[in-house]
Amino acid sequence: MRDNGLGSWTRRRARMTPAQAALVQDGVPTTYADLHRATTRLAHGLRRRGIGHGDRVAFLGLNSVELVVAMFATAQLGAVFVPVNTRLATPELAQVLGHSGSGLLLVEDALAGPTNDPAITGLGMDVVGFSRAGGTGLQALMAEDETEIDEPIALDDLFMIQYTSGTSGRPKGVMLTHGNVVWNVYNLLVDVDLTSEEIALVTAPLFHTAALNQVLFPTILKGGTALIEAKFDPARAIDLIESHRVSLLFGVTSMYLALAASPRFREADLDSLRLALSGGAPIPESLLHTWLDRGLMIVQGYGLTEASPGTTMLRAADGVRKVGSAGTPCFFTDVRVVHGEREAEVGETGEVLVSGPNVSPGYWRDDETTAAAFEEDWLHTGDLAVRDEEGYVRIVDRLKDMYISGGENVYPVEVEQALHSHPDIAECAVIGVTDETWGEVGRAFVVLREGARLDTAAVLAHLDGRLARYKLPKSVVFLSELPHNASGKLVKSRLREATS
């Protein structure tokens, strides 16, 4: 084949295991032969609509077989896939579509309302609606032609533009090449022993990099089966784990919290689970121990969209000994922790720098931001970490989340870990707020477990003695829920906006 990119994967896998179920959604299986046939037919249909090498195809929809088919069809043509966050407001959606220069938007019918707004119609895109229907929802776009497509596609060619989740500021378009994603999959497979019999539950949104590149692509490469869920629901997730004997699970902190809070969690049959992966933010140690009590170590890693995303991994063998750590660098990735212009000492906080073939070449149509973030072969992540004497990395916080109180650096994650150790606290977040005396002080936002009762004094009393006094929040706000984006990440910018 001349196609060395991801678009060739359906063809390569279909010739090996054509009858194996590649995807299952709503109980309907799609075999690898089915997947390749649908992908090829859609690629011919897209080509007839003028889509070719380098053109951008945007997709706005929940997790679906249609998303997977559209992604592989776009890749077959050497075009660029642009998965769009389904929670964007209309002005944000218009900004992403306009900035990407997408010529075609595939939009799920239930989400199509904003596409009638003048801010989007004025972009002049070709907009095609579809319904989720187990892979057949794009039938109207598909050609009858099943002739193999074999465009000359190299690993350095652009595969996808993934817009950052926007936890701070305007989303940036991260360029990911075919090679970035392939090397990321290799990194994961070195660390995680996936098999061709893997049953992976995909409930996190596929428009973000973790579920797509850390779960779906590795499962397809190995020839396993991915259960595609439109969105996460803890009760249904437990049903699927039990009924389909799910072996691979991925989630962010809020998802593992929700599963652990389910009334069925203690008695659910989780014996089939071999791997529970997590990323996006450090998991509180109390939650890790909750899952350990069920016999399952949540394998934590550290990553970011710009690294496709895998950067470090805490392997299962070290899970208990190094609990709370993000592990050591993945096989084909290098990591530095720097303090100013020098390497940080053991135990000293510094910024994480990343290099490797999985690291993005930069931001789409944003040379200034690219130049600021990429220095020679190293990506400045903006994340803070410390290394221990064995080289294990512990993520401390985002550089932007750190605040200075009375001349002392305070890292909110440390305070949040201490808050999470209280049995009545389900979720929490800490930010710095302006203070006339100390410059900045901490404010804690707390969500209590159902039926629990705590007041500010009780929360602060729990922290007293666990942390230095300058780290203690000066105020506590009780909320029914914290703001999260579509990938389940906490959005602290909304908390800051509410206090400004």
| pLDDT tens-digit readout, 459-486 | 999 998 888 788 899 999 999 999 987 6
Enclosing domain of residue 292: 6-387
Res 168: pLDDT = 42
Residue 47 lies in a domain: yes
pLDDT at residue 280 above 80? no
Domain boundary among 387, 411, 432: 387
Region of residue 166 (left: phi > 0; alpha: psi -120 to 50; beta: else): left
| Between 32 and 394, the higher pLDDT residue | 32
Residue 167 reports pLDDT greater than 60: no
What sign does the CA torsion over 433, 437, 439, 444 have?
Answer: negative
Half-sphere exposure of 453 (CA within 13 A, CB side): 0
Distance separating alpha carbons of residues 157 and 266, to the nearest angstrom: 47
Query: Domain end: 387, 417, 437, which one?
Result: 387
Q: Directed axis angle between helix 412-420 and helix 285-292, to 10°?
A: 40
Rg (CA), the chain: 23
Are 371 and 420 found together in one domain? no
Closest CA to 18 of 4, 35, 6: 35
300 domain residue, yes or no = yes
Q: Give the chain's domain count.
A: 2
Residues 438 and 376 in one domain: no
Say yes or no: 300 and 427 in one domain.
no
pLDDT of 229-253, one tens digit each? 999 999 999 999 999 999 999 998 8
Task: Look at residue 499 and tell me whether its pLDDT is greater than 80.
Answer: no
* pLDDT 10s digits, 382-438: 888 999 999 999 988 776 787 878 767 687 888 998 899 999 999 999 999 988 778
Instruction: Return the closest-CA partner of residue 82 out of 215, 174, 179.
Output: 174
Residue 477 within any structural domain of the chain: yes
Cα end-to-end distance, the chain, whole Å: 57
Residues 479 and 361 occupy one common structural domain? no
Share of the chain above pLDDT 90, in %: 74
pTM of the model as a whole: 0.84
**Whether residues 268 and 120 fall in one domain:** yes
Q: Which residue matches tokens 């009375």?
A: 406
DSSP at 255 = H
Structure-block tokens of residue 6: 């991801």
In the sheet that holds 275-278, the strands lie side by side as 28-31, 21-25, 225-228, 199-202, 248-251, 275-278, 298-303, 310-313, 328-329
- Asked whether 443 and 474 are in contact (CB, 8 A), the reply is yes
Average pLDDT, the chain: 92
Distance between CA 483 and CA 235 in Å, rounded? 21
Q: CB neighbours of 463 closer than 8 A, spacing ≥ 6?
A: 415, 418, 419, 472, 473
pLDDT at position 407 is 64
Parallel, antiparallel, or unpaired: how do β-strands 393-398 and 298-303 relate? Answer: unpaired
Residue 160's pLDDT is 98
Helix, strand, coil % over all residues of the chain, rounded to 5:
30, 30, 40
pLDDT score of 319: 83
C-alpha 214/C-alpha 20 separation (Å) is: 21
At 132, the pLDDT band (50, 70, 90 cuts) reads very high
Kindly state whether residue 395 falls inside one of the protein's structural domains. no
Last residue within a domain, chosen from 337, 356, 387:
387
The reply to whether 453 falls in a domain is yes
- Determine the Cα–Cα distance for residues 449 and 7; give it in Å rounded to an integer: 46
